[in-house]
Amino acid sequence: MVISLLHHFLENYGLGEMSMDVHCDNCSGQNKNKYVLWYMAWRTLRALHSEITVNFMPAGHTKFAPDWCFGLLKRRFRLSEVHCLQDLCNVVETSTKRRINRPQLVGTETGEVLVKVYDWQTYFQGWCRPVKGVKEYFHFKVQSERPGVVFLKKELNGPEEEFLMVTDATTAQQRLAHMPAEIPPPGLPEARRQYLRQHIRPFVRPGVQDRLCP
């Protein structure tokens, strides 16, 4: 999901830059993993970027600029009444005076998909290999000049290592010709729908009851 969200942002809100620096917290489950690194290399292989560096915060440091934005959103949310997705969008829009926070719906209550989710894991299987001991490194770089290679550093000013992630050039060329398969949203099971109708609908604003709890 993280890669699909990142892909949507870069494809829709990018400025046409060819060199990109990304800063992340040190969450290995969401950010520092083989799929994110493979995706970054994929962007250089498809000439979407010529160089990408990915930097992770040192262990023990968990707060950075986006957390400030989340804090402002949290404060506004506590003072708001939210019954539907549009209400939540309004909360995001008004959480900062200069509109630093902006909403991006991934879908609607009616099932319309606004941000596509792709099966990146299956897509990368068979032609990419993971970096051994990836959690020990904090700085990564991929370049179109060295396709499929990731440069690694444990410290910003430390020695640089390199690792070949793309191992099957033939399969890589075949996969690069198309996007991964889309994963359609499964929707709510009937048991959950019944629960919303019976237990949540009475507390929802009348104007949006049929949208949220039909």
Based on the fold, state whether residues 142 and 199 are members of the same structural domain: no
Based on the fold, state whether residues 164 and 196 are members of the same structural domain: no
> Residue 94 falls within a domain, yes or no?
no
Based on the fold, state whether residues 198 and 174 are members of the same structural domain: no
Residues facing residue 128 across a β-bridge: 166
- 85 and 211 in contact (C-beta within 8 Å)? no
What pLDDT, on a 0 to 100 scale, did the predictor assign at position 28?
Answer: 65
Range of the domain at 207: 188-214
Instruction: Tell me which residue of 132, 104, 119, 115 sits closest to 37, measured CA to CA.
Output: 132
Based on the fold, state whether residues 114 and 45 are members of the same structural domain: yes
Based on the fold, state whether residues 200 and 155 are members of the same structural domain: no
Number of domains in the chain: 2
> Residue 55 falls within a domain, yes or no?
yes
Alpha carbons 212 and 189: distance in angstroms, whole number: 14
Based on the fold, state whether residues 167 and 204 are members of the same structural domain: no
What pLDDT, on a 0 to 100 scale, did the predictor assign at position 62?
Answer: 67
> Residue 57 falls within a domain, yes or no?
yes
Based on the fold, state whether residues 48 and 20 are members of the same structural domain: yes
Phi first, then psi, for residue 19 (nearest 5°) are -115, 130
Per DSSP, the residues of 178-197 read SPPPB-------HHHHHHII
> Residue 67 falls within a domain, yes or no?
no
> Per-residue confidence of the chain (214 residues) as pLDDT tens digits?
899 999 999 999 999 999 999 998 867 666 778 999 999 999 999 999 999 999 998 776 667 778 889 999 999 999 999 999 999 999 999 999 888 999 999 999 888 999 999 999 999 999 999 999 999 999 999 999 999 999 999 999 999 999 999 998 889 989 999 999 999 998 889 999 999 999 999 999 999 999 888 8
Instruction: Tell me which residue of 10, 22, 3 sits closest to 124, measured CA to CA.
Output: 3
Based on the fold, state whether residues 172 and 111 are members of the same structural domain: yes
What pLDDT, on a 0 to 100 scale, did the predictor assign at position 66?
Answer: 82
CA 162 from centroid of its chain's CA atoms: 25
Based on the fold, state whether residues 175 and 200 are members of the same structural domain: no
What pLDDT, on a 0 to 100 scale, did the predictor assign at position 169?
Answer: 85
> Residue 91 falls within a domain, yes or no?
no
